[in-house]
Amino acid sequence: MGIDYEVSAVDTDAGVLVNAEVLEGEIRRLASRRRANDRRIVLYGHSKGAVDALAALTIYPDLIEHIAAFVSACGPHGGSWIANGSWIAEAFNKT
């Protein structure tokens, strides 16, 4: 019982929609290969990669049939204090 894995070719500096499209193509390619051995895909996303992966599954919901599990490790699904700029407001609002 071995594990086959691939690392996505997404550009971590690219936007979520761009990476969702890359993931869509990768998942479809993996799914077409899986038909031979009937294995589904475990999708693991770390940090922004988790947001990219969730976006791919949301934009292309037909991909879900190929996914056995989606693991979000440290995914900032509710936004990020740093990315949202909250730290700037907090730093300058000190009295």
Q: Which of the four pLDDT bands, split at 50, 70 and 90, describes residue 36?
A: low
Question: 72: number of CA atoms within 13 Å, CB side?
Answer: 13
Question: What confidence score (pLDDT) does residue 58 get?
Answer: 95
Q: Is the pTM of this model over 0.95?
A: no
Does position 91 have pLDDT exceeding 80, yes or no? no
Query: Helix and strand tally (H, E) in the chain?
Result: 3, 2
Average pLDDT over residues 20-45: 88
